[in-house]
Amino acid sequence: MEATVYNKSGKSAGKVTLPESIFGLPKNDDLVHQVLTALEANARQGSAHSKDRSEVRGGGKKPWKQKGTGRARHGSRRSPIWVGGGVTFGPRNERDFSQKINKKMKIKALFTALSEKFRNGQVIFVEDFAFSKPTTKEAQAIIAGLAKDFENITKKRRAAFIAFDAADEKAYKSFRNIETIATDSIANMNVKDVVDNAYVVIENPEKALEVLTKRS
């Protein structure tokens, strides 16, 4: 299994041999969906919070005496049936939405999603970005060069996820102003990054494949 490696100008610069265990897995929508749902659940902050009757201010005095007024009896203005009172069964910020994901499931889901992208021609291997300094103009030129063979990389929101072979601050700063592009290192890439973007661009494929193999 081979793939073309491109240079920064979008021209072919050679070939790379890809392992079947990463780019040749069969489709498995159930696994990908399960892991993707868990990742999104783990990202939830759970910040929505409503006060119950014990947290609402006031209500220390009984609104009116128990008997003799002809009105219904009430003991506190903090009751949920009063305007300004507590909320019954409202959202609470102590709720934990996180789900456990086994390491092997997470990695296999990532490789399964990468395999599907590769079959659809949506994985791009780039030789090396090698920015001498942060520059958005040069980053845009690289995307324009790749667009000769991959048209939607410039025309679609969430067009591409760029995976650097290592943490690269210059490259990160160069691409971060392009709103259609997301970036991170190959070591941090997960199935959500692959599924959410039209293309996956992998820098320095030989080193990147070493990192992916170690993650398996």
Domain ranges of the chain: 2-44+100-215, 46-96
Q: How far apart are CA 74 and CA 2, in angstroms?
A: 77
| Cβ count near 208 (within 10 Å) | 22
Strand 160-164 versus strand 12-17 pairing type: unpaired
Predicted model pTM: 0.81
The CATH superfamily assigned to 2-44+100-215 is Ribosomal protein L4/L1 (3.40.1370.10)
Task: Compare 163 and 8 and report the one with higher pLDDT.
Answer: 163
8: Cα within 13 Å, side-chain hemisphere: 10
| Cβ count near 82 (within 10 Å) | 15
pLDDT band at 147 (very low <50, low <70, confident <90, very high): confident
pLDDT band at 119 (very low <50, low <70, confident <90, very high): very high
So what's the pLDDT on residue 74?
93
Q: For residue 38, is pLDDT > 90?
A: yes
Q: How far apart are CA 52 and CA 117, in angstroms?
A: 48
Q: Would you say 199 and 123 are in contact if contact means Cβ atoms under 8 Å apart?
A: yes
